[in-house]
Amino acid sequence: MESLPQIFLVIYMIIFSITLVASIVYWVKQRFSALAAIAMILSLLIPLVSFVYTAQRKTGNGYEFMLEKVFDLNGLAITLMIGYVYIIGWLIFVITELLTRLYHVPFINEKLKPMFQKMEEHWIKKGIPPLKRFFSLIREKLPKRRKKADETLEEEHKQSSQ
The tens digit of pLDDT for each residue in 79-121 reads 999 999 999 999 999 998 888 888 778 887 788 788 877 877 7
CA 18, CA 41: separation in Å to the nearest integer? 13
Would residue 73 be called left, alpha or beta, if left means φ above 0 and alpha means ψ between -120 and 50 degrees? left
For 6-16, give one letter per residue: b (16+ CB within 10 A) or e. Answer: eeeeeeeeebb
Q: Is 100 helix (H, G, I), strand (E, B) or coil?
A: helix
Q: What is the pLDDT averaged over residues 3-23?
A: 90
Q: Is the pLDDT of residue 32 over 90?
A: no
The tens digit of pLDDT for each residue in 40-86 reads 999 999 999 999 998 888 888 888 889 899 999 999 999 999 999 99
- Whole-prediction pTM: 0.67
- Provide the 8-state DSSP code for 32: S
Q: What is the DSSP string of 9-70?
A: HHHHHHHHHHHHHHHHHHHHTTSSHHHHHHHHHHHHHHHHHHHHHHTT-SSS-HHHHHHHHH
Q: Is the pLDDT of residue 39 over 50?
A: yes
| Residue of 158, 128, 26 whose CA lies nearest to 120 | 128
